[in-house]
Amino acid sequence: MAAAIETEHLTKDFPVGFWRPRPYRALDDLTLQIEAGEVFGFLGPNGAGKSTTLKLLMQLLFATRGTARILGRPVGDVSVRRRIGFLAENPYFYDYLTAEELLSYFAKLFGYRGADVTTRVSRVLDDAGLGAERRKRLRQFSKGMLQRVGLAQALINDPDVLFLDEPMSGLDPLGRRRVRDQILGLRARGCTVFFSSHILSDAEALCSRVAIVVRGRMVASGKLTDILSFGLKGWELVVANVTDEVRAELEKRARQVTPLAHGRFMVDLSPDADPPRLMHELGGRGIEVVSLNPVRDTLEDYFVQTVAAAAPRPTGGV
């Protein structure tokens, strides 16, 4: 069976400069293979080439070099488009149409007719959590609501492969929760999801695999846990009811003790501190443990390290 998405040496140069334009390489030699049913996270800092990749896969851009296939067929093929969904970054639709009209317009473009259109439209709008607003014109919609409409339109045809460009941006915590649940639901259904993000927690919660791009080049791909050591950098312990004696004891064993409000203290422990034993020892002295959290590497840390290490972006030219 063909891979859901595959790219070979995918490269895109943009001409830069009005007078004597020179090529600027936005994406350099990307080779990827994503199997059906995977939820794939395409991660990288802003400007890394994530949107460029997605637009190449949607054939909103034409590749300078290399190929891309979806479901075994060339991108841009109309038969491919019937089976995919796409949510652009910060989506924008027509000001003077209502959400319902927009969705039924798109549904009809997929060839659905009659009652099928109505049921599909109301189902995806329900899933996106849009209530009575669906009869309002889109110009009155907030950014977050447009994002929901965007996800709804991407799902109107029950796609086999779903492409989402920064699906969480502009959403409140509740909205993010909802999108995560929707993606997990799609994964359960066997839908392949390819999404870009610059936020680690999204990827951690959803992805079976990720690729990381920095400055147009893929720097790593595979399971997130494999890529990132997720090395334990330490522990963060918050305690209350601390006597002076105990505090002195803590200061001896911790890297740092910071007083917080209401007599609490934040204790910064080294990775090898063995907090359970410490808590057991201190428990007898009447102190109260408020919270204990491991401190790990974040994707942001990783980006910062990689970007710092990466050579300057290669300029194009073939």
Partner 1 sequence: MRAILLVAGAAFKESVRDRVPYSMVIFAVLMMAASYLISQLTAGQDLKIIKDLGLAALSIFGLLIAVFIGIGLVSKEVEKKSVFALLTKPVTRPQFILGKYLGLVMTLIVNLAVMTVAYYLVLYYMDVMATPALRAGWPAPALDPRLLVAIVLIVAELALVTAVALLFSTFSSPLLSALLTLGLWVAGHFNNDLRRFENVLDVPALAWIARGLYYVLPNLAPFNVKAEVVYGVPVAASHVGYTLLYALVYISVLLTAATATFRRRDFK
Partner 2 sequence: MPQAHSVDSRPRPSNRWFHAATAGLLALSIAVQVVRDRGWQPYEPATPVMWLQSGPLLKRIALGFDALVADIYWMRAVVYYGSKRLADEKGRNFDLLDPLLTLVTTLDPQFKVAYRFGAIFLTEAYPRGPGRPDRAIALLERGIDANPNGWEYPHDIGFVYYWWLHDYRAAAKWFDQAAQVTGAPAWLAPLAATTLAQGGDRQSSRFLWRQILESNDAAWLKRNAERSLMQLDALDVLDEINRALGRFTTREGRPPRSWQELIVAERLRGSPLDPTGVPYVMDPATGQITVSRQSQLWPLPTEKPRPLATPP
Q: Which positions lie near partner 2, rule CB under 8 A?
A: 8-9, 59, 62-63, 65-67, 69, 74-77
Within 137-156, the residues that bind partner 1 by CB under 8 A are: 137, 150, 153
Stretch that binds partner 1, among 82-90, 198-206, 232-240, 283-291 (CB under 8 A): 82-90
Residue 41 burial (CB count, 10 A)? 26
Q: How far apart are the first and last CA of the chain?
A: 33
* CA of residue 119 relative to chain centroid, distance: 29
* 94 lines the binding site for partner 1 (CB under 8 A): yes
Q: Which of 5, 68, 84, 219 binds partner 1 (CB under 8 A)?
A: 84
User: Taking CB within 5 to 8 Å according to partner kind, which of partner 1, partner 2, none is near residue 74?
Assistant: partner 2
How distant, in Å, are the alpha carbons of 240, 247, 303 from that of 285?
Answer: 12, 11, 43
- Name residue 146's amino acid: L
* 81 lines the binding site for partner 1 (CB under 8 A): yes
Strands 265-269 and 232-240 turn out to be: antiparallel
Q: Which of 9, 22, 72, 92 binds partner 1 (CB under 8 A)?
A: 92
Q: Which is nearer to partner 1, 77 or 226 (CB)?
A: 77
C-beta of 182: minimal distance to partner 2 in Å?
31
* 91 lines the binding site for partner 1 (CB under 8 A): yes
Q: CA triplet 57, 63, 65: central angle to 5 degrees? A: 125
Cα gap 89→116, rounded to integer Å: 28
Q: DSSP labels for 268-318?
A: EE-GGG-HHHHHHHHHTTT-EEEEEEEEE--HHHHHHHHHHHSPPPPP---
Q: Which is nearer to partner 1, 151 or 228 (CB)?
A: 151
Q: Which is nearer to partner 1, 146 or 238 (CB)?
A: 146
Which stretches of the chain bind partner 1, using CB under 8 A? 14, 55, 58, 60-62, 78, 81-82, 84, 86, 88, 90-97, 101, 105-106, 108-111, 137, 150, 153
